[in-house]
Structures are given as structure tokens and as C-alpha cells.
Chain A
Amino acid sequence: MSTELAEINNFIRSIPPFNELTDEKIVQLSQKITISYLRQDKKIHADTAILYFIRTGALTHVNEANELQGKYGEGDICSLFCCQNNEQNIPLVCAAEDCLLYAITCEQLTTVLIDYPKALEFILQRGSKRLKNKMVQVNEEAILSSSLMNTALSHFYKSPVACIKAYKSIQDAALKMTQQGYSCLLVIEKNTNENGQPIGIVTDKDIRQRCVAQGLSFNTEIREIMTHNMISIDCNNSAYDALIMMTSQHIHHLPVTKNGRLVGMITVTDLMNQEGLNAVNFASIIRKANSVAELSKISEMLPKLQIRMAKLGSTADHVGKTISAITMAFTIRLIKMAEDKLGQAPVVYAWLAAGSQARQEQFAHSDQDNALIIANDMLPEHEQWFNSFAHFVCDGLAACGFIYCPGNVMATNKKWRQPLSVWQHYFEQWVSVPEPKALMNASIFFDLNTIYGDTTLLQQVRNKMLATTKDNTLFLAHLSKNALQHKPPLGFFRDFVLTQNGNNEASLDLKHNGIAPIVDLARIYALAEGVNAVNTIERIKQVAGTPSLTQTSADSLIDAFEFLGLLRSSHQAKQLQAEKEPDNYLHPKEISRLEREHLKDAFKVIKTLQKARQVVY
């Protein structure tokens, strides 16, 4: 049985997850296939659980209301008939074109793929579960491919290590930790000096768990609560080895040795910070810049940082937070320069970021969205100062590559540079007399964050706002109506994006048809539940388990958000690298078949939750 069914074997091998199978398995599979021909407009009738491969032609899947659910073309697999335990839910699938179909029963598939549980899961699992697996894998890869792999531990550990004699009291230990800012101490015998071999380790967690929680007197000797038999790592290992050792042992502190002698200590935090080190460096050179021209020069590195992070496999959350933090550093530096130039502000104020920067989801080359809340004791003559101030900062941001907001949501716009009382009034209007159009323009202001100045100003606005939005059915209904206008597509058909109304489009708008709908949903949930958070993932996490969103849906929504973000981040990294203006338009040819499957799963999650929202209001 060598080349006999070669064409069929090659066809199957080209389709994920079958591309992971050995030749022998492929041969076993193809021998179990039955081939059938389905005329256009004929329905599939399957009386057992079956997986279909579309060899030629096209299939259409509709629901009971005859609404299009998906289309399948050559080289797609259709797993709709794989889980047929539910009698009422027999999928309605018919041929859109004459089809040549390869079929294998799930029973046989399970037998052949017994050693490939992952491939089997991929086929038989529900979309949301499949997406979850993908994201787990992505996050693991983000760790694996991080620079930790290539960095020696010797760059990280801190030396010398803080030690304490074993006979000292727990309180002594706590005092020493507090004074020196350590979260752990090595314990040494009474008569050894500071370089002697430690006999144990004690962490702040030990004090919490083994002393305070147990009601143990804090005069007890430290040796009573220390961990004996501590493990250590040689400094010739990579930073990654240390991370793995700590992760597998569930510890956060690891003594480092050199030639068997203790030389230092490494913590999980030290390692994790490495990844953010670039951002920290960035922020520190921004702080040292003395002119807008200097800042502008520094800002040219921002796209490079985004490319690097994307290449390292950082999650979009990580990239967004880093870029947002750097934008914040630019803004603060510009504010300081403005104050140097214009003199101190006449009254207290807060410089706000709105939209993606406020949500910490900003990417390089985003536009600037900002606003000013000024204290209520502002006088008319102060207006001139704030006007000049706003122009200085916004012009400076523009010079650093953050283009002016096309919708004029900027502090230079007098409408968005107002005293606290006016802002309170704005929100009152938006919430109590909601008009769809006005709300659509205002939705950006439901994602606000203080960048600089008096944080209580925004907090006052927000507290009052959240008190009125919570359980405000009419307001939430209007907001939902707006939000549901961005609909994710159904999936892909051949090399096109298949929209919900059955059209084929050349590219996928990742922002409007994927990311924005999730951002909108998260905002609605947060406002409905009175949640303070602004970051989308944070919002979803906080509303999980409330009447607005179940824990399971929350998990799926985060997976979908992260997957879409990842695609956007790598798509933009490619464009930035080619020195093109980054955009959100993803062509189906850019991504693998597997990624298309995951995208389809992500769309399904969004669609389900949008539908649930539609039902609520």
C-alpha cells in the first residue's frame, strides 16, 4: 500500500490537523473513507456521526430560520455532523455547488487517531474549547520564545543575599525584610558568617501561613517556620531554566550558587520584569528628554519595539499595555515641558486619555484621544492657560507620531476641556437622556483614564456615572444597539471572508469586525455591573460570574480577544517591518487554514454573546 491512494492521502495531509499525522496514519485513514457525490441544493443526511472533507464543490450551513451559519469549500473539513447526540440539533447542510465529499465515521476516526488526542480534540471539540487550547499553547510559546531562553542567569540574580541567623525570632525576620525591602531571607546557623552555607529559607509567605495564620508567637525562632531542603540553581543555567524550576516547584525565590557556593537570589518577579525591561528603558530615556524634537526622535523606536514584541510572541495584551505605558510616558513628559514653559497651572486638573490608550490597548501609530477635567474653581481667565497647555501637549504628541484624532476628541477642543461640573453634566445627559447618535460619539468617554494630575477628578465623574448606569435598562439598551452594529463575519469561504449576510469580502477588518465588538461588549457589561475597570480583559474578568456574563463565556471571550489581538499584532508587525502604515485589514491568504479555524471559533463566541445581548434588551 504505497502510492495507491496517493492523491487522496495528499489531499487529507494538506488539511489541519491531519498535517500532523504520520504517513502510516494517513494511509489508515484514507482506507476508511467513503466517497459520495452531492448534487447542488441536495441536503446531507447523516445517520451516524461523520466527518466530511470537501474534495470539490461547496457546502452551506443554515439554521432553522434559514440564516447562513457558514460555508465550506474545497479542502475544508465539515465537523458539524461529528457530535450528533442532540436530536433537535441536526445541522442543516446542503450543497451550494455539486460536491465530491470524502467521509469517515467518527467512530473510525477515533480508532485511527487514538494516539493523536490533540488532533482528535480539534475535530470533535466545540469552537470555544478549541480556542481555549490554542490560547494556552500561545501563552506557553510566548514564554518559550521569550528572551529568557537566551539569557544567562548571571544577568539577573541579586547579590548579596540577605541572611538571618536561625535562632532569631520571626519578628526579627519580618523587621529585616521590611527594612531591606526583601520578600525572603536565607537562614544560616548561629556560628557561620554571612557567606556560610544556608540551612533553610524563609519567605513572607511562610510568615503569613506558618506563623500568623497558625497563631504562632512571633517570638518563635525563625528555624521553626523556615523551609528546609531548599533547592538552588547554578548560575551557569539560563534564566529560563530558573523560571521553569520555580514554576514546577511552585516557588518564587531561588538561591543561586556558583561552584557550589551561594552567590545570590533570583525571584520570579526579576525574570518577569525582563520582558518589560524595554518599556522601562524607554520610559527612562523619555523622562530625560529635554525637547519635543528629542521626544520625536525617541518615538521613532516605538514601531520597532512593537515589531520585536510581536516577534517574541508577546500577547496583544502585553504589547498594548507596553505601548500604552510608553505613550503615557511621552504625554507626561510633554505635560511637564508645557508646565515649564507656561508656568504652573492656575487650578488643579487631570489630563485624561480616552479610548484605546485608556484601556491600555494601544498600538504604535494610534491616534491620540484625550481630554481635560479642570477643577470647579476654574475662572474664565484661566481658560487661556489651559488652551495653550492643551495645544502644546497635543502638538507634541502629534510630533511623536500620535496623529490628531480625526473625531477631534482632544483637549484642544474646548468641548472636551471643561470643569468637573460640566463633565458631570455631560455624563448625566448621555446616561439619563440617551440618544443613539450622541451615545455613539460619546462611547469613547466611557473608557477614560487619568494620565497626569489629580486622579480624584475623574474618580468623582466615574463614581457618579457608574451609579447611574448600573441597571439603567434604557441607557444600556441604547448602548447595546450601537455596539451590535459591528458584526463579526461567519468565517471564510475559499479565500474570502464570509459575512453574516452571505457576501464574500476580500479582507477582514480585524478592528471593526473582531476587536471592537468585544471592547463594546466588555464596556456594556462593565457599565451594567458598575465595574470601575477600563481595560477590556480586566472588565471581562471582573464581570465574570455576574448576571451580565457567565464565567465560561468570560473565559471564551478573553480567548477570542487575545487571539484576535495576536493576529492584529503580527499583521501590523509585518507591515511595520515592511515600513508600511499598519492597518487592520487582514487578507485570508495571510493566515493559515488553522488560524482561519480559530478565527471562526472566535467569531462564533462574539456572535453568541452579541445575540444574548440582543435578547436581554
Chain B
Amino acid sequence: MGILEHWLGYNAKRQRLYNKAPTGALKDFLAVPFPQPSTPFAQVPILAVDFETTGLNAVDDKLLSVGYVALQNRQIQLAQSYHQVINTGQKLKTDNVLIHRITDNLQAQGHPLEVVVEQLLKALTGKVMLVHFARIERHFLQQACLELYGLAPIFPIIDTLALAKKRLDMQDVAYDPSELRLANLRKKYQLPNHLAHNALNDAIATAELLLAQISYIPTENLQLKTLLC
């Protein structure tokens, strides 16, 4: 481990946050080191995560459902998949329901935010988070932790959107931003259509996209740090 990384790397930040965190789920999560940036890709434990939310603002809007699936050794493990609706205690907006298809009824049967976040943190422990468009998941999860534990943690994240964007930017050709949508990127890699806006389906779809993306990168020396956003 380099001296810089020792002070500035995400594991160093994790350690500092760990010292501040209250005893409980968040502290447990922060107790375990994340994989080192130099870890070969195949050995990195990854958790593909997706949220459905009531809107795009992490402060005003609520987390509505969480889905995740584990990815390691280039294999998506459906045995380690999870999907849970959260009861926000608020009435849902119709136009929103049309997108994620979670109705008030379904929501009423959901679990409290705390239970779901705890489950997610447990699954994420020692892993790298994989999402498509990191902003939403990072902000909503940090916001949820802030509310629940009074502290916003750190997550090393691989973002399939950022990877695609980097590729397109390097090509120096103008592109339509809609090309970066999950469904459109999947189409580009001939991946099948998927039922979008279900948190678990989107998490699996994101994991599949990552496998397709990295299959186009010479992988012998592919290290985690090349992929982190």
C-alpha cells in the first residue's frame, strides 16, 4: 500500500468514518476493508445495486425499493440476489407508479427503511458497489444512512454509465446522451431486453452490462482501480 493511499484512499476514509460511527449496522459495515484498488478484477467481490425512488432528489424523495445481486469471478450469482419494497409511509404519485409499478398496496406490505438498509449494508460489506449512474444510488444510500445513523459512509463504486461515457469521450465523436441509458447500452452489446424499473432486474441488467463491457477490455491485468469512478 502506497503512503498516499494510506492517507487518502477509500480504505483510509473508511477507517476514519469507522472511528466516528455509532455502534450498529453502519459501524459493522465500515469495520471490513474494501478490496484494494490493485485487486485483479476477477477477484473483486461486487454487489450490483439498484434503487427505485419516489423522485430524483435524495433529500426530498424516498427510497422505494432495493434490489441487488452479487458478482464475482465474472459470474453473476442469482443465489445472492435480493429484492425488497420499502414502506415510505407516503402516498405515491400516479405518474411515478406507472414507471416502477409499485402501488400503494404493495408499498404497504413493504419493510421499514431501516431493515432494508441494514440488509443492504450487510451484503455490501467488503464489496464494491456496481450501479448504472452512480449519483442516485450513492446519494440516496448516503442520505438514508445520515437519517438512520447520523453519518454518511463511503462506497467504492463501479458505474457502467461512467465506463461507457469514458469510452465514448475517448472516441472524440459526438453522441446522443440517450445512448448512455442502460437499455440502449445493453442493446449495443446485443444483450436481451429486460423488464426495466424493477430494482432487481435493473441490478442484474447492470451486472450483465459490466460483464459485456469488460469483455472488450484486455483483461489479463485488469485491476479494480481502472473501473472505479
Name A's B-contacting residues (CB within 8 A). Answer: 3-8, 30-39, 42, 55-57, 97-98, 100, 103
Whether A30 contacts B190 in the complex (CB less than 8 A), given A37-B208, A98-B215, comes out as no
Check if B99 is an interface residue, CB within 8 A of chain A: no
Q: Shortest beta-carbon distance, B99 to chain A, in Å?
A: 16
Check if B36 is an interface residue, CB within 8 A of chain A: no
15 contacts between A and B (CB under 8 A): A3-B198, A4-B200, A5-B78, A6-B195, A7-B194, A32-B79, A33-B78, A34-B75, A34-B76, A34-B79, A37-B74, A38-B215, A39-B215, A56-B192, A97-B190
Whether A5 contacts B79 in the complex (CB less than 8 A), given A36-B211, A98-B212, comes out as no
Whether A100 contacts B191 in the complex (CB less than 8 A), given A5-B81, A34-B76, comes out as yes
Whether A36 contacts B76 in the complex (CB less than 8 A), given A55-B192, A100-B208, comes out as yes
**Chain A residues in 8 Å Cβ range of B76:** 34-36
The answer, among A6, A30, A55, for a CB contact under 8 Å with B78, is A30
**Chain A residues in 8 Å Cβ range of B207:** 35
- Give bound CA distance, A7 to B204, whole Å: 11
- Give bound CA distance, A268 to B46, whole Å: 68
Could you say which of A30, A33, A100 has the most chain B C-beta atoms within 10 Å of its C-beta? A100
- Give bound CA distance, A35 to B204, whole Å: 9
**Chain B residues in 8 Å Cβ range of A57:** 190
Q: State whether B190 touches A34 (Cβ < 8 A).
A: no
**Chain B residues in 8 Å Cβ range of A98:** 189-190, 212, 215
What string of 1s and 0s marks CB contacts (under 8 Å) between B73-93 and chain A? 011111101010000000000
Q: State whether B79 touches A35 (Cβ < 8 A).
A: no
Q: Which residue of B lies closest to A57 (CB)?
A: B190
- Give bound CA distance, A347 to B188, whole Å: 81
Chain B contact residues, majority secondary structure:
mixed
**Chain B residues in 8 Å Cβ range of A36:** 74-76, 211
**Chain B residues in 8 Å Cβ range of A6:** 195
Name B's A-contacting residues (CB within 8 A). Answer: 67, 74-79, 81, 83, 189-192, 194-195, 198, 200-201, 204, 207-208, 211-212, 215-216
Q: State whether B190 touches A7 (Cβ < 8 A).
A: no
**Chain A residues in 8 Å Cβ range of B190:** 56-57, 97-98
Q: Shortest beta-carbon distance, A592 to chain B, in Å?
A: 22
Whether A7 contacts B74 in the complex (CB less than 8 A), given A31-B79, A56-B191, comes out as no
9 extra interface residue pairs, beta carbon distance < 8 Å, beyond A35-B208, A42-B215, A56-B192: A4-B198, A4-B201, A5-B78, A7-B194, A8-B78, A32-B78, A34-B79, A39-B215, A100-B192
- Give bound CA distance, A55 to B190, whole Å: 11
**Chain B residues in 8 Å Cβ range of A3:** 198
Number of A-B contacts defined by CB within 8 Å:
62
**Chain A residues in 8 Å Cβ range of B191:** 56, 100
Could you say which of A34, A37, A98 has the most chain B C-beta atoms within 10 Å of its C-beta? A37
**Chain A residues in 8 Å Cβ range of B201:** 4, 7
Q: Shortest beta-carbon distance, B174 to chain A, in Å?
A: 26
Which 7 A-B residue pairs are closest in the complex by CB-CB distance? A37-B211, A35-B76, A39-B215, A34-B75, A4-B83, A33-B78, A4-B200
Q: Shortest beta-carbon distance, B213 to chain A, in Å?
A: 9
**Chain A residues in 8 Å Cβ range of B194:** 7
**Chain A residues in 8 Å Cβ range of B74:** 36-37
Q: State whether B78 touches A34 (Cβ < 8 A).
A: yes
- Give bound CA distance, A449 to B189, whole Å: 62
- Give bound CA distance, A49 to B194, whole Å: 29
- Give bound CA distance, A270 to B139, whole Å: 82
Q: Which residue of A lies closest to B195 (CB)?
A: A7
**Chain A residues in 8 Å Cβ range of B79:** 31-32, 34
Q: Shortest beta-carbon distance, A144 to chain B, in Å?
A: 40
**Chain A residues in 8 Å Cβ range of B211:** 35-37
**Chain A residues in 8 Å Cβ range of B81:** 4-5, 31
Q: Shortest beta-carbon distance, A96 to chain B, in Å?
A: 13
- Give bound CA distance, A404 to B74, whole Å: 65
Whether A5 contacts B212 in the complex (CB less than 8 A), given A33-B78, A34-B77, A56-B190, comes out as no
Q: State whether A37 touches B212 (Cβ < 8 A).
A: yes
**Chain B residues in 8 Å Cβ range of A42:** 215
**Chain B residues in 8 Å Cβ range of A32:** 78-79
Q: Shortest beta-carbon distance, B8 to chain A, in Å?
A: 34
Q: Which residue of A lies closest to B67 (CB)?
A: A4
Q: Shortest beta-carbon distance, B23 to chain A, in Å?
A: 33
Q: Shortest beta-carbon distance, B135 to chain A, in Å?
A: 25
Could you say which of A32, A34, A38 has the most chain B C-beta atoms within 10 Å of its C-beta? A34
- Give bound CA distance, A57 to B211, whole Å: 14
- Give bound CA distance, A7 to B215, whole Å: 24
**Chain A residues in 8 Å Cβ range of B208:** 35, 37, 100
- Give bound CA distance, A427 to B141, whole Å: 89
**Chain B residues in 8 Å Cβ range of A34:** 75-79
Q: Which residue of A lies closest to B219 (CB)?
A: A39
Q: Which residue of A lies closest to B101 (CB)?
A: A3
Q: Shortest beta-carbon distance, A494 to chain B, in Å?
A: 14
Q: Which residue of B lies closest to A42 (CB)?
A: B215
**Chain A residues in 8 Å Cβ range of B83:** 4
Q: Which residue of A lies closest to B216 (CB)?
A: A39
- Give bound CA distance, A6 to B83, whole Å: 12
**Chain A residues in 8 Å Cβ range of B77:** 34
Could you say which of B76, B78, B195, B212 has the most chain A C-beta atoms within 10 Å of its C-beta? B78
- Give bound CA distance, A1 to B88, whole Å: 21
**Chain B residues in 8 Å Cβ range of A55:** 192
Q: Shortest beta-carbon distance, A438 to chain B, in Å?
A: 54
- Give bound CA distance, A37 to B191, whole Å: 10
Q: State whether A37 touches B78 (Cβ < 8 A).
A: no
- Give bound CA distance, A34 to B78, whole Å: 6
**Chain B residues in 8 Å Cβ range of A7:** 194-195, 201
- Give bound CA distance, A35 to B200, whole Å: 14
Q: State whether A35 touches B212 (Cβ < 8 A).
A: no
Q: Shortest beta-carbon distance, A41 to chain B, in Å?
A: 11
- Give bound CA distance, A5 to B79, whole Å: 11
Q: State whether A5 touches B200 (Cβ < 8 A).
A: yes
- Give bound CA distance, A39 to B191, whole Å: 12
Q: Shortest beta-carbon distance, A430 to chain B, in Å?
A: 56
Q: Shortest beta-carbon distance, A222 to chain B, in Å?
A: 72
- Give bound CA distance, A30 to B190, whole Å: 22
- Give bound CA distance, A49 to B76, whole Å: 18
- Give bound CA distance, A332 to B191, whole Å: 65
Q: State whether A31 touches B195 (Cβ < 8 A).
A: no
Q: Shortest beta-carbon distance, B227 to chain A, in Å?
A: 15
Could you say which of A33, A35, A56, A103 has the most chain B C-beta atoms within 10 Å of its C-beta? A35
Q: Which residue of B lies closest to A37 (CB)?
A: B211
- Give bound CA distance, A97 to B211, whole Å: 15
The answer, among A4, A8, A30, A35, for a CB contact under 8 Å with B75, is A35
**Chain B residues in 8 Å Cβ range of A103:** 75
- Give bound CA distance, A86 to B33, whole Å: 43
**Chain B residues in 8 Å Cβ range of A38:** 215
